[in-house]
Each structure stands twice: as structure tokens, then as C-alpha cells.
Amino acid sequence: MFYEPGKTSHGLKRDPFKACVVPRPIGWISTINNAGQANLAPYSQFNNLTFDPPYVMFSANQNPDGVRKDSVVNVEQSGRFCWNLATWDLREQVNITAEQVPYGVDEFERANLTKEWSRVIEKVPMVKESPVRFECTYYSTLKLPGNAPVGSVDVVIGKVVAIHIDDSVLTDGILDIRKTQPIARCGKWSGSFGFKCPCSLSKGIINTP
């Protein structure tokens, strides 16, 4: 098959674009506003950009009326945010924090999650129950145009300045995804990944046993 996004039809029940780039980790982003109110929300468009120094990004669609997501507003006002690993054990809490609520409502309290405060950046709450957490300083926002009825997209970029990893998810000095059980989007489906990959990477070449 072949199609041009926005120009020709793909002829399928669902747009296959998102299913082509998988798995996509969840950007469970925590922020705080100028009034000291905490916010926590998951974003399905999240990833790392560079490694040295580490930068991450998450993208948030604006509403058709141009209203921006609370996370974006808070990050730009405060200059900081945290990322929390969304895990299978926390899936119900992740879903609760995805619900649309009025600005200023504390999703930590709604989802019965414990706040752990950042140590390097100024006072941003993290999800204590999450085994991996990043503290980030705001770098920039890239605004991309969206097709109607979706509004523009805010791509928020941040520099990771501190990383928290629970010792319980380490095996022989390596972060063990069999223990973290991260949630990821896979096109139509969401799932948790805790398997052993039957291949190794060496000098950019996949070596299968």
C-alpha cells in the first residue's frame, strides 16, 4: 500500500502511522504551577532525544480552540518538570491521571499517589511509586501546525539533570525491564514489556544467536 498523509486515503480502518513507530513509552509528566498546585498527566508521544547530555521530549496536542495542555503551561511558566516511568502495576493510576479535569486539580490526590519532591530542580513532585524518575529543566517548545479539528502541537524539550532509579529494579548493575514492566503504546494496543530480547547489539549490527 501507499498513501500521502493528509492527501490520499490509506484505505484502512485506522491510520497506520502510529503503529509503525512502536513501542512508544508513556510520558508521565509531573509539573507544578505558579500557585504551587501539582499536575500529573500521561502523554503517548514521548522519547529521549540525546544521551550526552540527556534530553527528552513530550508532545501535547492543543484543543481546537487553542487552549494548551496544563503540563505545557506549567513547564513554560516554571522552567522545570519531571518524568515518571509508567508501569504495569501503576496502570490504573495512569488512567486516572489521563482524565480531563479543571486546571489546578491535583491528579496525585485523585489517583492516590505519593509525592516525592525533586532534589536538584526546585520543588516539583514526582511519583514515589514509580521506579524510575527524571528531573528536567525546560529547554524549549516547538510548535507544530495540526490539521483540523486538532489544534497545534506543542513539542516540549527538557534537559535531564537528575535520575532516580530504585535499587529494586536493578539486576547485576543493569536496569531490568522485567522488573520495571514499563507501559508502552503499540498502535491500537497498549502493553507492558518485560521480555528478554533474543538478540544483542554490537557496533550497530544485530547479532542473533
Please indicate, yes or no, if residue 8 is contained in any of the structural domains: no
Query: What residue ranges in 3-87 does DSSP mark as E strands?
Result: 24-25, 27-32, 38-43, 46-51, 54-61, 80-84
pLDDT in tens, 31-67: 999 999 999 999 989 999 999 999 999 999 987 777 8
pLDDT in tens, 64-76: 777 899 999 999 9
Q: pTM for this structure?
A: 0.85
Can you give the CATH number for the domain in which 27 is found?
2.30.110.10
- C-alpha 171/C-alpha 189 separation (Å) is 29
Please indicate, yes or no, if residue 86 is contained in any of the structural domains: yes
Name the residue among 17, 25, 30 with its Cα closest to residue 44.
Answer: 25
Please indicate, yes or no, if residue 17 is contained in any of the structural domains: no
- C-alpha 101/C-alpha 87 separation (Å) is 22
Please indicate, yes or no, if residue 32 is contained in any of the structural domains: yes
Contact 93, 26 (CB under 8 A): no
Please indicate, yes or no, if residue 10 is contained in any of the structural domains: no
Helices (H) and strands (E) in the chain, counts: 5, 16
What is the number of residues in the chain? 209
Who wins on pLDDT, 2 or 70? 70
Range of the domain at 143: 23-207
Q: Domain total for the chain?
A: 1
Q: Tell me the sheet residues that pair with 191.
A: 184
